[in-house]
Amino acid sequence: MSYPEMMVKPMREELTRLGVEELRSVEEVDAALGDMQGTALVFVNSVCGCAAGGARPAMAKAMSADGKRPDKVYTVFAGQDLDATARA
């Protein structure tokens, strides 16, 4: 069972505002990561307190910092994009 979209929308937007690309389906995961060249980070977003209190703020800090970054940064949402999360 997945969470309602209106509940997770603000949590999704915390990452997409930073330029993180959402992968919401198995097809999107396969297209993004299948023949990937370079480096990628896949952030597993969630409604849990750990994601709110630590993970999303840490991602925001990392995305705004100078220095090395992965070539691509993606996110899947556990508890909503179930198949995409399992595939990623």
Cα angle vertex 57, ends 3, 2, to 5°? 10
48 is catalytic: yes
Set 48, 54, 69, 70: catalytic member: 48
Backbone angles phi, psi at 23, to 5 degrees: -120, 110
Closest CA to 74 of 12, 1, 10, 5: 12
From the list 19, 50, 66, 67, the catalytic residue is 50
User: Active site includes 50?
Assistant: yes
The residues annotated with a catalytic role in the active site are 48, 50
